[in-house]
Amino acid sequence: MIRLLLPFVLCLPAAVAAGQPAKTVKVTVLSTMLVGNSAAGIGEWGFAAVLEVDGHRLLIDTGARSETVLKNAAELNVDLSTITDLVLTHNHADHTGGLLTLRRELSRKQPSALSRVHVPRGIFYPRPGAGGREGNGLLPLKAAYESTGGVFIEHAGAATIMPGVSMLGPVPRVHPERNFGSPRGGTIGRVQTPEGLVEDNVPEDTSIVVDTADGLVLISGCGHSGIVNAMEFARKTVRAAPVYAAIGGFHLFAASDETLSWTAAKLKEFGVRHMMGAHCTGIEAVYRLRQLAGLSRQTVVVGAVGASYTHGKGFDATVLAR
């Protein structure tokens, strides 16, 4: 069924199929807190980015507010209407809020625009809240999205979703990186899994990995699995290679000194050379990781709307975040 829908999607449980390493890789941020230029974009508590690999394009997450990504892309001259596939890294509203608006608006121009959503298993698990309120931000959008002709493609494990591009599926929690809970410091909710009602550690949380000759480029939405868990799982399932670049939200804004030191040591161990900490990574955490990992101002930057990473060239971090 999935193969009929998507000829190049291969769902494999343990490791993704080895292919040719990607040659050209570019990531452009479309939603995050900070805006780096006065000329284009607006900031929000959310995340979205466009990934371009050897001519294929993928949208990763859709921002928080319904129109942020649509408007930011227009102001940055990024045409999203020619992108057919997107990934939602997890169920939270600051990553799924733009889904319906983007699909509805862009499909008027191009019917196939954002018509296939790759999701990790567990993203539709109910999150029962106080008074019976549903806490899963994606569930109310599911039927509305499908009524536009769009389809969700669920991945239980690592899968190749574009040539040279893998989606990790749910990332196993080997290390106790507790990168979840309300961004405002509230209580941790519960999730209804097939095994029962348990603490909601966002079990579906996934990352995207591009395999290049220099190593892996990892893009994370919110990093609820933990940046170290994601990197280790990428090295296990995609290729046992250095993690050349890490980009996106890594949920370290409230991390302790001890956690940041441990994380930095792991970044060094994995060979991380470039890092863009956007969204929930936190600004102080980016600066601290840069220093602790012995990296430079050019190679570790705070993510801003319009900022980009070009493999082989490095970051264009925008005026403010440089």
Nearest residue (CB) to Fe ion, 90 versus 239: 90
Q: How far is the CB of 156 from Fe ion (least distance, A)?
A: 23
Phi, psi angles (nearest 5°) of residue 96: -115, -5
Cβ-proximal residues to 194 (8 Å cutoff; 6+ apart), any chain? none
Which span (65-73, 134-142, 220-228, 313-321) binds Fe ion, by CB under 5 A? 220-228
Regarding 222 and contact with Fe ion (CB under 5 A), the answer is yes
Q: How far is the CB of 12 from Fe ion (least distance, A)?
A: 28
- One-letter amino acid at 135 equals G
Nearest residue (CB) to Fe ion, 222 versus 238: 222
Q: Which residues pair with 155 in a beta bridge?
A: 120
| 3-state secondary structure string across 126-180 | CCECHHHCECCCCHHHHHHHHCCCCEEEEECCCEEEECCEEECCCCCCCCCCCCC
Name the packing angle between helices 68-75 and 99-109 (round to 10°). 50
Element housing 64 (H / E): none
Q: How far is the CB of 48 from Fe ion (least distance, A)?
A: 10
Cβ-proximal residues to 89 (8 Å cutoff; 6+ apart), any chain? 60, 61, 95, 120, 205, 206, 207, 208, 220, 221, 222
Q: By beta-carbon distance, which residue lies closest to Fe ion? A: 222
Strand 165-167 and strand 159-162: the pairing is antiparallel
Which span (153-161, 168-176, 221-229, 296-304) binds Fe ion, by CB under 5 A? 221-229
Cβ-proximal residues to 244 (8 Å cutoff; 6+ apart), any chain? 212, 214, 215, 216, 217, 271, 272, 273, 274, 311
Contact positions with Fe ion (CB under 5 A) in 66-95: 94
Q: How far is the CB of 123 from Fe ion (least distance, A)?
A: 14
Which span (20-28, 133-141, 199-207, 216-224) binds Fe ion, by CB under 5 A? 216-224
Binding mask 92-111 for Fe ion (x = CB under 5 A): --x-----------------
Regarding 204 and contact with Fe ion (CB under 5 A), the answer is no
Q: How far is the CB of 224 from Fe ion (least distance, A)?
A: 8
Which span (18-26, 130-138, 170-178, 214-222) binds Fe ion, by CB under 5 A? 214-222
Sole residue written with tokens 């909710």: 189
Nearest residue (CB) to Fe ion, 94 versus 211: 94
Q: By CB under 5 A, how many residues form the interface with Fe ion?
A: 2
Q: How far is the CB of 46 from Fe ion (least distance, A)?
A: 7
Q: Which spans of this chain sit near Fe ion (rule: CB under 5 A)?
A: 94, 222
